């Protein structure tokens, strides 16, 4: 059985929709318990690339400011 990738930093990035702690989406987090071993392993294998491509805190702030100034 694949252990959960959760590391207790549970905040969804508003730009990517991925948790900044583990890299999963809210749907993937919620569905973890119903996934079979192969689904879990496949998801865990994708997480390092997601986390590497995540926006930085400054990048999220800039994106948020750009959205609010265009309103």
Q: What pLDDT, in 10s, does the model give residues 57-69? A: 666 666 667 767 7
Residue 34's pLDDT is what? 97
Residue 41's pLDDT is what? 96
Reported confidence tier of residue 52, pLDDT bands at 50, 70, 90: confident
Q: What is the pTM of this model?
A: 0.73
Q: Which tokens is 39 given? A: 């689904």
Name the residue with higher pLDDT: 17 or 69: 17
Cβ–Cβ under 8 Å, residues 39 and 31: no
Tell which residue, 43, 48, 15, 49, has the closest CA to residue 31: 43
Computed over every residue of the chain, the mean pLDDT equals 86
């Amino acid at each position: 059985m694949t252990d959960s990738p959760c590391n207790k930093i549970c905040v969804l990035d508003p730009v990517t929709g991925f948790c900044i702690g583990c890299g999963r989406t809210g749907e993937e987090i919620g569905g973890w318990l119903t996934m079979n071993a192969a689904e879990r392993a496949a998801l865990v294998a994708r997480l390092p690339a997601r986390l590497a491509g995540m926006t930085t805190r400054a990048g999220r702030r800039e994106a948020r400011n750009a959205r609010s100034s265009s309103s």
